[in-house]
Structure 1
Amino acid sequence: MDNYKVIKRLGKGAQGAVFLVEHKQQNKQYVLKKVECNDESEANKAFMEAMALKELQHRSVCGYREFFVQWEKEESAMFVCIVMDHYKLGDLEKVLKQKRDKKENIEELIIKKWLGQIVEALVFVHKKGIIHRDLKPSNIFMKEDLSICLGDFGVATVMGDARTKTRTTVGSMNWMAPEVLEKPYDERSDVWSAGCILLEMATCGRLMKQEIAQKLFEIKNDPQVLEQVLEDIQKQKYSADLVSLIRIMLRRNFKQRPTAVELLDLPYIQDCLVLCDSELAEKKKKKQSSNQEKKPVPKDQGVPPVLSFIRENINNDGSVRDALEYLAALTKQEGITVTDDGKRLIAKAMNANLKDLHIQIAACNVLNNLIISADPDDALYSKEIIKQVYLAMKTHSAEAALQQVACSLLMAFSSNEQAAEVIGESGGIQEVLAAMRSFPGNATLVATCCNALWSLAVNEKNSKILAEEKGLQDVYNAMVTHADHVDLIEAASAAMLSLSMEDDNLEYLGNLDCVGLLLSAIETHKKEAKVVKNACMALASLVEPDEESAYKVLNNDRDGVNVAGIPIIKEVYTQHRDNAEVVENICTLFMELTEYDDICFEMKDQGVGSVLNEIHNRFSKNEVRRCTMIGHPSVSCDTVAYTGLVRKYVQMTFNLGFSLAEVDPVVSFSSSQ
């Protein structure tokens, strides 16, 4: 400390006081941070950790000049002192404040340049085994050439086993990843913090400091808050790629969040690295430029020669692209198959050329063609292949065509129970939700996403993931936005049925008035049997545990107008009285409604008894196809005798207070049957 003169105190952080000092011999200003320790042993340990910071020699990392331990008699305390470079222009927090005061956005080109430097720095420090853990705007310093560098690495961030060891948290909570307080964590926690900083840079023209702080807090608990902020960012004319990147970096489950190294595979990040003239980008470009010229694909010789061609030219993106596109056309033909080894080769080609959009689309098309005839133990259902599909989705998150074919493939994968679980554990559900959120106006894509969610949510673990991610809100939004799209409404109603079976969604379902939305869907698409049967089953699922939902079926306030549900259901019954599947689901809904005494009186007054009587007369000699989830690809439908429907009929008439003779004198069943 004798070599330095204290000029002023700059502030006090979580680990100690910070001072502006001047080196007496050099006449140069530095920042000195004093970290208080409990005793000499702790001071020695902290000193050894601090010494590791000397290895952080990188243009985008704050330089560390000197470390020493000092005993201060006045305070009776031991301090580790860290001397680091001083930046006259201040930090990113200062820049954000200036922009907020002027209500001025930061140009995306500048954001991309700074983001490239942040990612470059994180890749460097993470490879050194160091996690920052306190990354925030005030720890990102502005250099005189207006580039930035990361600084203020706390001594407790140097971790011998960064992937498994839990440390006491430090620093500000707003930018801290959700997992840091609760679980072991790794370098992906810094990616979350960088995502928060990116969000701040993209909103500084609209949100004041207190507002963004509140949003960052809420995002940790509710992904839908993030979607609201991202929607506002898009209105500020920032690119869809930037929005998608923020969504990826702010994945709440850190195991499904990319590392800084994995971020390098994203085309948007590569653009950022090029802007800041990063060596990481240059290496990628050199690798790409070294590719050989395209070679002609062997055609009209069957599948094996094409696969051999892919294997021999796997790093030649042009050749692989042509081969996969030819293979996609070839496998559309009936009887054309690919061996398991060939399927694994396709996944390997996807991985080797991850940044090539057309290769990813062609490969997914091939896999979609092949899965139609796949056996339960087919290699297509392996983690190795499934992983490549959602990696492609993450890498090309702003490309609707890729999201469409990949979501369709994930839906097909989910017919296999083990594969469905792999998709959930690996982050595939979040990729489907991200596609819905990125392209809310694309009805065809959103319908495919709803089908995928419906199929995936059959798995109980996946249903819980969807509840945590507030996926029900996305399904609800899709139904509101695309109320006239038949296929979407059919799929969304089925997805709502799946999600309604998860207890964590029940309160959310009521708040969203899903009953009103489903009644509206039935009324709008009354001629569409597939919509009516799925919507009725979803309503029955909502009514079964919740009396309030049952009352909403009878009387629903929609846009200030009271809508009675029973007349709507009676009308669609008349429309589809010959369709056993639709009638079965209408009966299921009526059955659930009759479990509530007060509702029974209203149902009786509204003529439900006559409908039940007609159903009995029409189907007394028929067989009825019954399936818990009609049309679901992973659930087989059994054909059962009419007895089941009769029992429902008898129970409903009993609940409604009719004598059986009053409704249908022919019936001789007792209510106990």
Structure 2
Amino acid sequence: MASLSFLTEIANGIQGKAYRAELNEQSGSKTECVVKVIECPDINYGNKLFNQLMKLSELDHKGVLVPHDVFLSWEESTSSVNVNIVYPLLNDPGSLEDVIKNYPLPTGLPISEIHEVVGQIISSLQYIRSCGMYHLNLKPSNVFVNCGSYVIADFGLPALMSDIATRTRTTDGILYKFTELEYLYRIVKEPCNLHRYHPPELKSTDGDTLYDSKADVYALGLLIYQMCFLDLEVPDNIDEWREHADGIEDEILRGLFLKATDPSYDSRPSIDQLAELPEVQHLIEVAEKERIANKRQKSASVPHKIVPVDSSVEVVIDNLSSAIKSEELTRASFRAIFAMTAKNSVILDESQKGVILEAAKFHEEVQDIQEKFLAIAYNIIPTIEEETDVFSSVALCQHIVTLFKRYPNHENIIYASLQVTLLISAHRFGARNICKAKMLRVLADLTEKYPSNDKTVALRLVLWIFWGIVAYKENLRDVMKDQIGHWVYAVADTAQKEEVLLEAFTACMWTLSNYKENLDEFKRISGVDLLLHIVHDYQQEPRILKNCCMALANAVEADEVCAYSVLASRIDDPFVVLRSIYHPNRDNPEFVEAYATLLAELSNYDEIRYELHRLNFVELTKEVELFYSAADQIVKSAAKATANLEAYKLEIE
């Protein structure tokens, strides 16, 4: 007889706990599985649930996860009956919730993937309805990825426990009614916020609620919105989402969302009525082809599943390498690799990363593969350390340039490519490779053509990318050649109107001010006056102030004209403004360090010392020394300013 060894707890939910376990056969073989343990209020409830689960295990549909085994046990510590449900361990790690939560793109999953998920779920729901059952617990965490396909699992307890005597016939087939026992058990065990996937008619508190497949259709509508907008927080009032339905660009998905989430039970379609719609029949047909294609690819490449039970990344990449020209295998493999890298527990070697990049380049014309590749890159790049890493290489940067040119009107791909480029620019060698790939001018030009009405999204990302690149002097020649400084300064007017751009813009001003080669351009745009205006307008924003102070300090140190430009500023008494920004922000050490540096540089000039003396800045610099006595760099700069101002006081006395 087989025995179970519990390994680790992997979930603790309302309906019970889930464990990763090992099934030990009499033959000596071991198979990993998942065991869900449900604590029952009494033996009658346990027996009833056991019988219903045994019926569930008889279901046979590739989109429904059914139990491998079910058994009862007695829990001594709580004196309760437990129902134990043994499920096979799925091939892909993660659920639809994981996919949504970890997806780095702002405008939702690829439309083609949402079509596939919706088609497969509708097919599964239609099947279980034909068997006289409903799910009643449909949500992203209960839709699992399995070999590139999606399966539904974890049926709701009320759906399993409805008494046959309380079922009545409807046009949909069967209408279920909660019995008093099931209703009280559900209400006691579940907090209210877990009912948000249930339709309005199911949220009655009288214990006489009736439901059918329209409850699952409603939950499906919520899933559609969540995949389109990457929003896992379901509102109390569905109208909050329905009012934003126009934001769902795909007409089919928008229509399905509105039909499925209709608050009126009478107006909402059943699962069969939904499946009869021509557009839904097309989705189901496409989804079925995807399932078949994934199954064929799984058996045609090598004698392994695309992702084996132990989630070995070596096997999935070996499979990909052996059939890199297969679009379907690449798609399925990328899904699995994305899921694994999202958990930060998988480290890829350079050859494995090379296979992934090679596959992406081979399928550069396949939109959803590129989206998934960029998501994988987004997961991997923060972990890189080697100077020669594939995911910060010239080859990767050149591929991103290719994507910019091939998909100029695809917001998801452009945004994700910018996000990946930003991550690359955070590494010194990555920033250098961006320059080598001749990407700088492409990035600058892209901000004018960004496929969205909100151009500030692209502007902000590109500014941060340029900040990372300009920070390293070895990139200066490329920066000058492509006139990046000129481009940054040209953004000044827009940045002053759009506060979201200011931190990135002033950060670029700071890094550019480190180089005398940019000084003429800085003076041409009246850079000192521009920065002082920003300081005047944003006196409560220490990060912006820090950038401004460092840029001003560099300019004042490098050029006397810039120093005396402070005196000629068009704002009223710039020194009063500079005096006033310290105390509201003095708890921010980064700002104070930049502020003290600026005062130290300004105090080198006689005419400026007069203004500083007039406003008693020496008292302020002494306060800085005392307040930050343990911060050497701050004390050094403040002490320099103090010494200069005290020497000036002696001179004039």
Higher relative contact order (CA 8 A, sep 6+): 2
Q: Give the TM-score of the pair, scaled to structure 2.
A: 0.49
